[in-house]
């Protein structure tokens, strides 16, 4: 598409780290297709590096669970109003809401009603729970950009536009990640198996998962005495939170701690203990065995469990449509259960799992940023042709 003298203005909003990754990839690809482009909205450090004028810190939107949302509702509503008013005033050629459906879809609906082209990047899990939400999505957006290949067919059943674009992490992460190279980069010199502990980037995740992860580390060490552990702190707040939860006994564990560097930490590991989320997809792409854990607050869990109708919750299992990696949910997240599965990773061949991971990697390696950018440009051209 040829650039004009006037810049192409794109509205874009991400609400958490995974959305920041997607948004930055999309923005980079858009700049290659249309050099004269500007971005306004909300995003994290990666999107800001690509030139986003962020209206407020993305962290204001990073809440999960019904209880946390209710606690932060006034702030979230104020943020939503600010985004809507800014977009109506600035009139972007297209608006892209990245994930965060409860925040972004109402914005998209208002903007669509006002004549602005809207896209939603990452389909809400309508195939897992409350499938009738798909009709609300259709009212809010002109197209859904899907990162899971099976979603496109699901939307087609309801005649709602959806385009599978893949995932940028699958393009970014190589097909093979060398453990020795990662260990050298992290300064790890000891011989013996390494287990990564990644209890999450949100405060609520860390508060619920750190204790069972550390207790599991003690149990693993009893069975595999030469094991060592790696922790990647998502940020300074999570470092302080995890360190406050550690006991004197925990400090005797052979743990190497790192700020960030979660991808290298996983690459250096022989097994990973993870909070559910994008990190499980990264572990799959890096080709490391994992145990995926998910815990809600008591009220959140007992409300949501009545609505969810899906066999799996981790991205590797959703992509594979089968139980490829162990998942532990709520009361299943125990040191004993984690230990059992990690010890199996350390003592049994994982060749079949690695082959399955490679096949899934290939499936979603589609130059996602470029594919998503092409859909954005298509929506812009539709707008110009209709005026």
- For residue 301, what pLDDT is reported? 47
Residues 101, 201 within the same domain: no
Question: Both 97 and 32 in a single domain?
Answer: yes
Same domain, 190 and 94: no
> 258: how many CB neighbours lie within 10 A of its CB?
17
The predicted structure's pLDDT at residue 311? 67
Q: For residues 98 and 166, what is the distance between their CA atoms, to the nearest angstrom?
A: 14
- Domain span including residue 52: 8-166+366-386
Mean pLDDT of 95-109: 95
- The pLDDT of residue 54 is above 90: yes
Do 185 and 302 belong to one domain? yes
What distance in Å separates the CA atoms of residue 343 and residue 147, rounded to the nearest whole number?
Answer: 32
Domains held by the chain: number: 2
22 occurs within a structural domain = yes
Task: Tell whether 198 and 283 lie within a shared domain.
Answer: yes
Q: Is 3 among the domain residues?
A: no
pLDDT at 191: 87
**Tokens standing for 357?**
């991971």
Q: What is the pLDDT of residue 127?
A: 60
CB proximity list for 149: less than 8 A, separation 6 or greater: 164, 319, 363, 364
pLDDT at position 342, please? 98
pLDDT, one tens digit per residue, over 14-38 is 998 889 999 999 999 999 999 899 9
Phi, psi angles (nearest 5°) of residue 108: -60, -40
Same domain, 243 and 276: yes
Whether the pLDDT of residue 228 is over 60: the answer is yes
Alpha carbon distance 382, 117 (integer Å) = 9
Q: Render pLDDT for 274-333 as a digit per residue (tens, 0 to 9).
A: 998 889 999 999 999 999 999 865 445 444 554 445 567 799 999 998 999 999 998 899
Contact in structure between 274 and 283 (CB atoms under 8 Å): yes
Residue 353 domain flag: yes
**190 pLDDT above the threshold of 70:** yes
Helix (H) or strand (E) holding 385: helix 368-386
CATH of the domain at 98: 3.40.50.2000
Decide: pTM greater than 0.85.
no
- Confidence tier at 378 by pLDDT (50, 70, 90): very high
Q: Phi and psi of 166, rounded to 5°?
A: 85, -170
pLDDT tens profile 236-282: 999 999 999 999 999 999 999 999 899 999 999 999 999 988 899 99
Res 282: pLDDT:
97
Kindly state the percentage of the chain with pLDDT values over 70. 89
On whether both 142 and 212 belong to a single domain, the answer is no
Inter-residue contact 279 to 21 (CB < 8 Å)? no
Q: pLDDT at position 306, please? A: 45
The answer as to whether 334 is a domain residue is yes
| Mean pLDDT for the chain overall | 90
Which pLDDT value is given to residue 139? 96
- 29 and 148 together in one domain: yes
Contact 108, 87 (CB under 8 A): no
DSSP 205-217: HHHHHHHHHHHHH
Asked whether residue 143 falls in the same domain as residue 230, the answer is: no
* pLDDT at residue 2 greater than cutoff 50: no
Question: What gap in Å lies between CA 236 and CA 131, rounded to an integer?
Answer: 39
Confidence band, pLDDT 50/70/90 cuts, at residue 3: very low
Give the mean pLDDT of 131-152.
91
- Give the pLDDT confidence score for residue 298 in this predicted structure: 45
206-216: average pLDDT: 96
Q: Which segment of 146-155, 208-217, 361-370 scores lowest on mean pLDDT? A: 146-155
User: What local confidence, expressed as pLDDT, does residue 386 receive?
Assistant: 56
* 371 and 257 assigned to the same domain: no
Q: Are residues 197 and 236 in the same domain?
A: yes
């Amino acid at each position: 598409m040829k650039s004009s003298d006037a810049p192409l203005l794109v509205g874009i909003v991400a609400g958490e780290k995974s959305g920041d990754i997607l948004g930055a990839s999309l923005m980079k690809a858009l700049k290659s297709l249309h050099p004269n482009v500007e971005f306004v909205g909300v995003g994290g450090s990666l999107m800001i590096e690509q030139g986003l004028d962020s209206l407020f810190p993305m962290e204001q939107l990073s809440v999960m669970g019904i209880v946390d949302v209710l606690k932060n509702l006034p702030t979230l509503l104020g943020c939503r109003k600010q985004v809507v008013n800014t977009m109506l005033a600035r009139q972007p050629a297209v608006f892209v809401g990245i994930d965060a459906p409860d925040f972004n879809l109402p914005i998209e609906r208002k903007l669509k009603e006002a004549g602005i082209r809207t896209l939603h990047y990452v389909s809400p899990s309508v195939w897992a729970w409350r499938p009738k939400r798909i009709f609300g999505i259709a009212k809010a957006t002109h197209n859904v950009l899907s990162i899971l290949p099976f979603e496109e067919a699901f939307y087609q059943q309801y005649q709602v536009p959806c385009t599978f674009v893949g995932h940028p992490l699958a393009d970014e992460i190589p097909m093979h990640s060398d453990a020795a190279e990662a260990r050298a980069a992290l300064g790890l010199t000891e011989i013996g198996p390494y287990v990564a502990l990644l209890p999450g980037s949100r405060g609520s995740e860390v508060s619920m998962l750190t204790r069972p992860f550390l207790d599991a580390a003690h149990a693993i060490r009893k069975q595999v005495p030469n094991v060592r552990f790696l922790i990647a702190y998502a940020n300074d707040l999570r470092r302080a939170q995890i360190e406050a939860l550690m006991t004197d006994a925990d400090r005797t564990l052979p743990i190497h701690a790192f700020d960030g560097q979660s991808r290298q930490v996983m690459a250096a590991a022989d097994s990973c203990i993870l909070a559910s989320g994008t990190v499980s997809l990264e572990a799959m792409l890096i080709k490391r065995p994992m145990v995926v854990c998910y815990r809600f607050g008591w009220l959140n869990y007992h409300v949501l469990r009545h609505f969810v109708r899906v066999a799996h919750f981790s991205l590797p299992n959703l992509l594979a449509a089968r139980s490829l990696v162990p998942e532990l949910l709520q009361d299943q997240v125990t040191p004993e259960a984690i230990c059992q599965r990690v010890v199996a990773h350390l003592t049994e061949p994982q060749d079949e799992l690695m082959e399955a991971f490679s096949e899934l990697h290939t499936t979603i390696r589609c130059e996602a940023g470029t594919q998503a950018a092409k859909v954005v440009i298509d929506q812009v051209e539709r707008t110009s042709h209709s005026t």
